[in-house]
Amino acid sequence: MKPSMQPLVMVLACALAAGSPFWTGLAEAQAGSRVAAAPLRVTGFDVEQVDRLEPGAELNFTVWGTAGATVLLQIDGSRRTLRLDETSPGRYQGSYIVGRSDRIGPESRVHANLRRDNRVATAQLGEALQVGWVLPGEAALMPEIQSVGVAREPGRGRTEALRYTVRGTPGGQASVLLQGSQASNVVLDEQRPGEYVGTYVLPQGGWLDTEQPLVAQLRIGDRSVRSSAPNAYAGVNFTSRRSDACRDCATVQAVNAVTVDGEGHVLGTVAGGVLGAVVGSQFGKGDGRTAAGVAGAVGGALLGREIQKRNNQRTQYEVVVRMSDGALRTVVYAEAPNFRAGDRVRLVGEALEPLR
């Protein structure tokens, strides 16, 4: 190094070590240039199709892309521009209510402008606004399910909650069908393009039939596809499975009021049938007087007994329940019980207790 350059090198080294404003500003400028150079992107564009485009119809849009930007939508035939809110980093949502002065049709094009600073990224919606329509020049998209998964939802404490994930064609509507103590259709939310996620909290006393395949459905427009995932719950740690379910738990199917006689039998036509059989057996033996006497004696006894039973008739209540294993049971109450169809109960001895 030349002797004349040694003082300059020493000054620069000292300034760098001391963190001088000059070097700090230079580093920040370089970092800012790298951020500014990052490209803006729109990675997804979706609309909840409506059954009919008419005044009052609500169009819900979602755009995915670079976070921290401003997203504006322009709908062909609309009277105003729609601004979307960033509901989570990189996800923008908003709704447009079709007005009477709008001229929006099923094939109206929709453009999204994602702007940050002085840069803009644009995208065009790739589906029609109305169910059953296909945009000109585009083939109808057949949805496809790539994978179906389930995992325990963290952070719920003792509450049994499961997270379901379906991956497939973006821009659709996904759901999973759960079998168990009560059938449930869980609608999933598209968190990222083609990734649909939803959480299901098991009700107290409820259970899932994990022996059955997990069925998922994905719909785009008027087309849908289903996929069954066997052993989907393998390795998922939760207790409300069918094998671990409450064996004495049940669901009320019906509460019936029944009239019974003094002996607890449901009233019907049994007494009349018995009387006819006894009298008929005596005829045809050649002694009409014997037959008439027997008929009178038997008939009088049965009639008196029948009158006595009917005088003692009462109303009892039969509660029909479906047990956790699918079997039907009937529990009888002398007084009207405080149950109705759909209630979750537990069978204790010969009585029912509500599940809380």
For residue 201, the domain's CATH number is 2.60.40
Lowest mean pLDDT among 29-43, 235-249, 335-349: 29-43
- Asked if residue 298 and residue 335 are part of one domain, the reply reads no
pLDDT exceeds 60 at position 35:
no
Mean pLDDT of the chain: 77
Instruction: Kindly state the average pLDDT of the residues 66-76.
Output: 94
pLDDT exceeds 50 at position 284:
no
pTM as predicted: 0.39
- Asked if residue 356 and residue 251 are part of one domain, the reply reads yes
- Asked if residue 149 and residue 189 are part of one domain, the reply reads yes
pLDDT tens for 120-152 read: 999 999 888 988 776 665 555 678 999 999 998
- Asked if residue 50 and residue 111 are part of one domain, the reply reads yes
pLDDT at position 220, please?
83
pLDDT at position 224, please?
86
User: What is the span of the domain harbouring residue 24?
Assistant: 3-33
- Asked if residue 101 and residue 63 are part of one domain, the reply reads yes
**Tally of domains in the chain:** 5
Lowest mean pLDDT among 68-82, 108-122, 172-186, 266-280: 266-280
Residues 178-182: contacts with CB within 8 Å, 24+ apart?
A: 178/208, 178/214, 179/208, 179/209, 179/212, 180/206, 180/207, 180/208, 180/209, 180/240, 180/242, 181/205, 181/206, 181/207, 181/208, 181/245, 181/249, 181/251, 181/324, 181/344, 182/206, 182/251
- Asked if residue 181 and residue 212 are part of one domain, the reply reads yes
Judge whether 241 lies within some domain.
no
pLDDT exceeds 70 at position 241:
no
- Asked if residue 350 and residue 339 are part of one domain, the reply reads yes
Quick one: DSSP state of residue 156?
Answer: -
pLDDT at position 237, please?
80
pLDDT tens for 191-226 read: 888 899 999 988 877 778 887 889 999 988 778 899
